[in-house]
Structure 1
Amino acid sequence: MLKNLKNKIESQNSIIGIIGLGYVGLPLISAFFNKGFQVIGFDVDSKKVETLNAGKSYIKHISNEEVDKWRISGKFEATTDSARLAEADVLLICVPTPLNDTRDPDLTYVEKTTESIARTLRKGQLIILESTTYPTTTRDVMLPILETSGLKVGEDFFLAYSPEREDPGNPDFTAAGIPKVVGGYDPQSLELAVALYSQSIVKVIPVSSCEVAEACKILENTYRAVNIALVNELKMLFDRMGIDIWEVIDAAKTKPFGFQAFYPGPGLGGHCIPIDPFYLTWLARKQGLTTRFIELAGEVNSRMPDYVITRLAEFLNEQGKPIKNSKILLLGVAYKKDVDDPRESPSFFLMEELLKRGAELSYNDPHVPHLPKMRHHDLPEMSSCELTEKLLSEQDCVLIATDHSAYDCNFITSHSKFILDTRNFTKLATMTTGIIRKA
């Protein structure tokens, strides 16, 4: 069984099934398709499936031309039919793993996907979870569900975990160009998973277990969350002292060792950094421990939108205006620059609070033309306004929340009366007419 599947993988004759056609799934399709594999994409969202089968993309860094190439080749198809899971030799699970209302891990998508796989599981398949989760998920949550098929792991089918590593908006790193950590349930599963990723990924790092691979991803994102919290806290302190945190960081990063630059902002965004550390705090509670360091970082980062609103109120007060009835233009609703991903974006917290306080709010984002429905935010339907001289000049404040490269810094600073900059974007300006503050 193992030898047959390994031969199919190494000869690129295996069929790769990718479940979850979002910001992780589509780059994986690209990585395996470009190495000659036949790929089937699975998603419960029929609109995504129809779009891909029409040769169109809905993610900025995967082009229409690339998706159309998949379609024309005949080596890719997207489907909502879970019965077709049996056709794939390898199934990669890339579904969401959000937090529930009590900030505990919500594995509903992983569990339902695994149940669908179990109903069609056949001998000789390799199942790999890529969704970010807490250590023991693959072994304790997925495996019992898969074994309801009556098949035995390590003999009839194989199971592994390999955390997704994506950096949307960064042209220097694609899915194929980022080293891949892989942990197998058993040696046979690890051998197959390493063989698979070695076909399409620049470097594969095998580790001793699924749990090590799961913990690796949590460590990566907790490391970032804690360090961002540190600079966010220092930002609030240095603001009060009249010290520019951005200049401090620029000075500190000249040290060639012992320091890595992290930057403050209006809050954490994206699907990983605001969420993943809480998997670890939940797991620690189950072990009878507390993770005070991580929880403190979460508190600091989660209060940054409130800090921005406070700074905005102070800024407007200097002009003799309250937030209520002030015209405020928010620039950028994506969670980071040059992406079209709004998940967990701090801009939504800012917009909610501004509307609650009676601001006359508008927004612009070249990558997010319409405000999407977000399950944790109740915002009205809004569309991105055209960024004109007239629009900028009419605002009581332009609030820079995301520093997209598409924004012309001099155009914005030349035509805005008041700017509150949360990203140090205006440091690029050589022409300014209004008042600029940082938050």
Structure 2
Amino acid sequence: MDPDVVVVGLGYTGLPMAVAAARHGLTVVGVDHSPARVAELVAVRPGAGRTTVPENELASLLTGPLSVRTGSVPAAKVHLLCVPSRDLLSAVDLVSAVARKGDLVIVQSTCPPGMVDEVVLPRITADVHVAHSPVRINPGKEPVVDVPRVVASPSPEGLAAAIRFLRSVGQAVVPVGSIRVAELTKVFENTFRLVNISLANELATVCDRSNVDVREVLAAAGTKPYGYLRHEPGPGAGGDCVPVCAEFFAAAARRHGFAASTVEAAIAVNDSMPTSIARRLTCNGRVLVAGVAYKPGVGDVRRSAAVRILDELRARTEVSYHDPHVPRLALPDGTVLYSQPVRPGRADMVLLVTKHEDMDVTGFEAPVVDCSAGSIVEDRHG
């Protein structure tokens, strides 16, 4: 018997949807291209829920309405595509091969403006309802907050079907008038974050050179009850969403014949942060980078500023890392490193980049330089 729902992609956004559908009594098959990811889920290994799904609930559902696998995509009334945009067309082709008249395909991937209309829709039969509803989720934050879902479809029937399904699995929805509105909403939300993080990083640099505590400035600015939304400086925004959306925004502007100057400047600031930090660091001995994930509370190293800092430092000194969420790290040149246990004598300096709450680096017994706020603002001994 066919499942009610098939979820393609079981990462930070796909797994929560698979669990939500199963939690609401639907039979669900999750499909992921990675055998290692599927094995991790089947065994419910620590971290399998990727901070967005309680692992005790995952284990319970896997004995009932939820199954996961790699390989072929089965037929179902609803298919959710939860893969990075670079993998979206492959997922569309897999689903299109089994989709039937009246089925619903919801694209949850964050897409460049125009991708769904111009690339995805022509690859799917006209008899299938297609909707776009990009996921809003903040991995690493507990508990995961339910955020309303923007949703659009080229047809009233498709929109009604998507709204019905999303509400049936506990999602609040915000219908919009076109798929491009939905695409641009997600792209703008994350571009807004990147622009403001980059601005906060420029503030941190000005404060550093003015001998002013940036945290005090941010706290004081936050007392204004209107016109201000606090963003924190850092070593550079990473992950597969915020910086990518800003690039989508800038590319969309260029496509229409103009430059998104503010966004392009923010991208340049963000991209320069890891190199700036690495070049300002003075150490003649071994450096250990503490925290290599792109943000606290996750094991995701995609576009991580910490990895770029580590890679820059390798050219001039011996470098290792410690991260309880990232046991193994593959560098751009293929070199593989492993997280080092907290023991004295591991390093002559600890560079704190990503502050996981459950990470204690004092046992290294080396000077700790904190650059997690985007500047080298603290030099202490563990």
Q: Which TM-score band applies after superposition, normalised by the shorter structure?
A: over 0.9
Q: CA deviation at 1:63?
A: 4.5
Q: 1:170-319 residue pairs with structure 2 within 5 A?
A: 170-174=141-145, 177-313=146-282, 316=283
Structure 1 residues 168 and 18: alpha-carbon distance in aligned structure 2, compared to 1, 3 A threshold: same
Which structure has the greater CA radius of gyration?
A: 1
2:174 alignment partner, SS class: strand
Contact (CA 8 Å) 1:330, 1:398: kept in 2 or not?
A: yes
* In 1: Cα distance, 2:243 partner to 2:168 partner: 32
1:274 alignment partner, SS class: helix
Deviation digits for residues 364-405 of structure 1 (CA, Å, limit 9, x no counterpart):
11111111x35xx225221111123x14xx633211100111
* In 2: Cα distance, 1:168 partner to 1:247 partner: 27
Q: CA deviation at 1:424?
A: 8.5
* In 2: Cα distance, 1:380 partner to 1:40 partner: 35
Q: CA deviation at 1:79?
A: 2.6
1:368 equivalenced with 2:337 (yes/no): no
1:169 alignment partner, SS class: coil
Contact (CA 8 Å) 2:96, 2:123: kept in 1 or not?
A: yes
Q: 1:373-384 residue pairs with structure 2 within 5 A?
A: 373=330, 377-378=332-333, 380-384=335-339
* In 2: Cα distance, 1:158 partner to 1:276 partner: 26
Segments of structure 2 that go 5 or more residues without pairing to the other structure are none
Structure 1 residues 48 and 223: alpha-carbon distance in aligned structure 2, compared to 1, 3 A threshold: same
Contact (CA 8 Å) 2:208, 2:375: kept in 1 or not?
A: no
1:302 alignment partner, SS class: helix
1:160 alignment partner, SS class: strand
Contact (CA 8 Å) 2:326, 2:339: kept in 1 or not?
A: yes
Q: 1:70-89 residue pairs with structure 2 within 5 A?
A: 70-73=61-64, 75-84=65-74, 86=75, 88-89=76-77
Contact (CA 8 Å) 2:290, 2:354: kept in 1 or not?
A: yes
Q: CA deviation at 1:287?
A: 1.3
* In 2: Cα distance, 1:261 partner to 1:161 partner: 30
2:357 alignment partner, SS class: coil
1:419 equivalenced with 2:369 (yes/no): yes
Q: CA deviation at 1:113?
A: 1.3
1:138 equivalenced with 2:96 (yes/no): no
2:62 alignment partner, SS class: helix
Q: Which amino acid aligns with 2:335?
A: P
Report the counterpart of residue 404 of structure 1 in structure 2. Answer: 356
Q: CA deviation at 1:162?
A: 0.3
Contact (CA 8 Å) 2:238, 2:302: kept in 1 or not?
A: yes
* TM-score when normalising by structure 1: 0.81
Moved more, 26-35 or 296-305: 26-35
2:196 alignment partner, SS class: helix
Q: CA deviation at 1:48?
A: 2.2
Q: CA deviation at 1:425?
A: 12
Q: CA deviation at 1:122?
A: 0.9
* In 2: Cα distance, 1:171 partner to 1:66 partner: 15
Report the counterpart of residue 290 of structure 2 in structure 1. Answer: 331
Structure 1 residues 291 and 165: alpha-carbon distance in aligned structure 2, compared to 1, 3 A threshold: same
Q: CA deviation at 1:159?
A: 0.7
Structure 1 residues 420 and 49: alpha-carbon distance in aligned structure 2, compared to 1, 3 A threshold: closer
Contact (CA 8 Å) 1:55, 1:69: kept in 2 or not?
A: no
Contact (CA 8 Å) 1:222, 1:277: kept in 2 or not?
A: yes
Q: CA deviation at 1:277?
A: 1.1
In the alignment of these two chains, the number of paired residues is 379
Contact (CA 8 Å) 2:370, 2:376: kept in 1 or not?
A: no
Deviation digits for residues 238-284 of structure 1 (CA, Å, limit 9, x no counterpart):
21121221221122112222211111111111111111111122122
Say which structure is richer in helix: 1
* In 2: Cα distance, 1:81 partner to 1:331 partner: 37
Select the residue among 131, 136, 139 that pairs with 1:168: 139
Contact (CA 8 Å) 2:19, 2:66: kept in 1 or not?
A: no
* In 2: Cα distance, 1:160 partner to 1:45 partner: 26
Q: CA deviation at 1:426?
A: 11
* In 2: Cα distance, 1:95 partner to 1:60 partner: 15
Q: Which amino acid aligns with 1:45?
A: S
Report the counterpart of residue 28 of structure 1 in structure 2. Answer: 17
Q: CA deviation at 1:67?
A: 2.5
Contact (CA 8 Å) 1:178, 1:201: kept in 2 or not?
A: no
* In 1: Cα distance, 2:286 partner to 2:161 partner: 58
* In 2: Cα distance, 1:111 partner to 1:146 partner: 10
1:303 alignment partner, SS class: helix
Q: CA deviation at 1:55?
A: 4.6
Report % sequence identity: 34
Instruction: Say what the alpha-carbon RMSD is for the aligned residues.
Output: 2.4
Deviation digits for residues 7-30 of structure 1 (CA, Å, limit 9, x no counterpart):
xxxxxx971110011111111112
* TM-score when normalising by structure 2: 0.92
1:423 alignment partner, SS class: coil
Report the counterpart of residue 58 of structure 1 in structure 2. Answer: 48
* In 2: Cα distance, 1:280 partner to 1:68 partner: 39
Q: Which amino acid aligns with 2:13?
A: V
1:382 alignment partner, SS class: strand
2:328 alignment partner, SS class: coil
Select the residue among 84, 88, 95 that pairs with 1:96: 84
Deviation digits for residues 296-324 of structure 1 (CA, Å, limit 9, x no counterpart):
100001000111112213xx4xxxxx4xx
